[in-house]
Amino acid sequence: MPSAKELIEAARAARAHAYAPYSSFAVGAAVETVDGTVITGSNVENASYGLSLCAERAALVRAIAQGHRRFRAIAIAGPEGATTAPCGACRQFIAEFDRTMPVTFTSPDGVVATTLAELLPYPFTGDALSPK
Ligand code: THU
């Protein structure tokens, strides 16, 4: 099982694969599945800016596509000196799989440890639309 430190290190390493020619803001993310597997992602931008994909969603999509559905934590790493908390869209995306997932992210003051419940207290759940 990776430690919290190892998970943020995996996120930091994933920044190397960011495709961010428009913003130059390289982000890496690492999700830990319940079986201890670590799956990383990086942001992938597009000339049509709005199509750009955040590192968090890239990591989660990779994990889901590999058959994982349950997660223990997610870590996000951005450039030094930046606060790289997950954007609102990513918070909602994470909430689909775990509304209380531990979340760590880099900031100028060091690594911030929080939870999705704190970052997004009222996710849209769809209630009647809930997955069967
Ligand atoms: N970005 C992420 O990948 N994750 C975040 O949590 C915040 C923003 C990306 C999107 C875009 O490619 C770049 O960072 C600048 O916004």
Distance (Å) from CA 119 to ligand 1 centroid:
16
- The amino acid sitting at 42 is S
56 CB under 6 A from ligand 1? Answer: yes
Residue 100 is encoded by which pair of tokens? 């209380």
Residue 32 catalytic?
no
User: Are β-strands 102-107 and 28-33 bridged in parallel, bridged antiparallel, or unpaired?
Assistant: unpaired
| Catalytic one of 56, 80, 96, 118 | 56
12, 43, 116, best to mutate for ligand 1 pocket (most atoms within 8 Å of CB): 43
Q: 131 in helix, strand or coil?
A: coil
131 CB neighbour count, 10 Å cutoff: 5
Q: Which of 122, 126, 70, 129 is nearest to 91 (CA)?
A: 122
Q: How far apart are CA 51 and CA 58, in angstroms?
A: 13
Q: How does pLDDT run across 104-128, given as a tens digit for each residue?
A: 999 999 999 999 999 999 999 987 7
Quote the CATH superfamily of domain 4-124.
Cytidine Deaminase, domain 2 (3.40.140.10)
Q: Domain residue spans in the chain?
A: 4-124
41 CB under 6 A from ligand 1? Answer: no
pTM of the shown model? 0.96
Q: How does pLDDT run across 10-53, given as a tens digit for each residue?
A: 999 999 999 999 999 999 999 999 999 999 999 999 999 999 99
Q: So what's the pLDDT on residue 64?
A: 98
